[in-house]
Amino acid sequence: MRSALAASFLLGAFTVLGFAPFYLFPIPVLTLALLCHFWRKSATPLHAALLGFSFGMGMFSAGVTWIYVSLHDFGAMPMPMAVLALFFLCAYLALFPALTGWILAKLHINIPVLWASTAGALWGLSDWLRSVLFTGFPWLTLGYSQAPASPLAGFAPIVGVYGVSLILVLSAALICLFFEKPFRKRRYPLFLFAIWIIGFGLQHIRWTKPQGDPVTVSLLQGNISQDMKWREDQLFNSMDTYARLTLESSSRLIITPEISVPLYRDEVPSSYLAQLATHAKRNNGDILVGMVEAPAGASEYYNTMFSFGASPDQSYRKHHLVPFGEFIPLKPVFGWVINVLKIPLSDFSRGGLDQQPMHLAGQRVAVNICYEDVFGEEIIKQLPQATLLANVSNDAWFGRSIGPRQHLQISQMRALETGRYMLRATNTGVTAIINERGTVLQEAEVFTTTALHGMAQGYTGTTPYVRFGNSLTLGLAGVLLVASLLPIFRGRRKKL
């Protein structure tokens, strides 16, 4: 049993190779096939749960190491405490594959195809559940590993990332069955090939269509070190950097990163914002600037993007906040964390979930801030009205880890799900222009002070995912689970 648990841990760690920056999308299919093999051989539901837990610990320990960088390097959390916090987070996340394994074994499904479909359904549901519990942490959802090149990415505009997770694990389970001696002569390879061929065909369907002419864009990357960003003696340098990059741009749409001006909106000199607005008007366009908003007479404050230029001034307030980074959940229990982490402005208020796209440079731009683009079901709240997606972020918190690249791949999945361009303006990278197919068209060199100039095509139309959200995946998972339970209920009726 120990060797199987160790092997499961290694399989989980190798699964990370499917995600950015590696993009080896077949790897998760193979590692999950081997995990399914271990599950099929497990003697008890507890053993299956331990195998799933070990797999999860391997995957998350290898895949979310950037959290240690955020907590220790930039949050000033003592090393032992940061290591312990990372361990407990990984252990919590590993409970989801553990639960999948336990339920799968507990059901005692004897029909192989139903067993495979149940494995996919349970994993897809567990990935979705992880995205909603305790405000959600869907990082390393298996489906992201298939963006943008895998044939399974063709399912993304229909069932979203959790549906891709379901189909990935179903594929892995079919591979597992094929290599078991009693089932080698059956038609499992045909089922597997059919899934992947359908996915490949779906990749060639255009769910959305271009609207109007492309718009020129400039995505600004100030490269302000996180340990310098909030220092008062560095404020002029930050503001001067973004002013200079702005004035050098002739694009109609200019986007700065999240809180590019580290001040409250009413503290920013009016002459500074007027200069940016005048330049944007001269380009017959608009600029998005990230600042902190503190409404007059109110105690709350918001992480906000403000627009200035030819269009009327508009704003977007961040809705989905980062736990322990932008707000402290359960303050009576975790309030002490504020005294440990040296994170400025760690108690933001939430913006509304019903905010509408901004009308900028002739486009309708659905803005999302940093962590928000991890939640596809929230992004589609601004669709199908929006013609472009824009993610502004400060991934300097991740340092030189794999975190920024993983975040880029998440944005690629959002582009696939919605059939829209995604514009990413980040402080240190990865600043990029992603097309409606999830392909990175242009990318700025990370950790450089630069502006990424390019063209973005607006799109209109509605993908099935935009129309139905995660309900299609939840419905499919429900149907598969009901199908797997029917033989069990029939068997019980015969006994009665």
* Domains of the chain with CATH codes: 2-206+469-495 (no CATH), 211-462 (3.60.110.10)
Do residues 459 and 148 make contact, with C-beta atoms less than 8 angstroms apart?
Answer: no
What's the pLDDT band for 495 if we cut at 50, 70, 90? very low
Bridge partners for 314 per DSSP: 307
Does 182 or 461 have the greater pLDDT score?
461
Q: Which of 66-75, 95-104, 478-487 has the highest mean pLDDT?
A: 95-104
What's the pLDDT band for 342 if we cut at 50, 70, 90? low
Q: Are strands 450-456 and 215-221 parallel, antiparallel or unpaired?
A: antiparallel
Residues 6 or more apart whose CB falls under 8 angstroms from that of 17 comprise 24, 27
DSSP letter for 357, please.
P
- Judge whether residue 494 has pLDDT over 80: no
User: Average pLDDT in the 403-421 region?
Assistant: 97
Give kind and range of the element (H or E) at residue 293.
Answer: strand 286-293
What's the pLDDT band for 496 if we cut at 50, 70, 90? very low
- Judge whether residue 419 has pLDDT over 90: yes
- Judge whether residue 8 has pLDDT over 90: yes
- pLDDT tens for 128-175 read 999 999 889 999 999 999 999 999 999 999 999 999 999 999 999 999
Do residues 218 and 452 make contact, with C-beta atoms less than 8 angstroms apart?
Answer: yes
Token pair belonging to 272: 């500074």
- pLDDT tens for 432-443 read 999 999 999 999
Token pair belonging to 449: 């002070």
- Judge whether residue 231 has pLDDT over 80: no
The per-residue pLDDT for 244 is 97
Radius of gyration of the chain (CA): 24
pTM score, whole prediction = 0.93
What's the pLDDT band for 335 if we cut at 50, 70, 90? low
Do residues 162 and 128 make contact, with C-beta atoms less than 8 angstroms apart?
Answer: yes
Residues serving a catalytic function are 258, 318, 370
The per-residue pLDDT for 227 is 67
- Judge whether residue 196 has pLDDT over 60: yes
User: Average pLDDT in the 220-239 region?
Assistant: 83
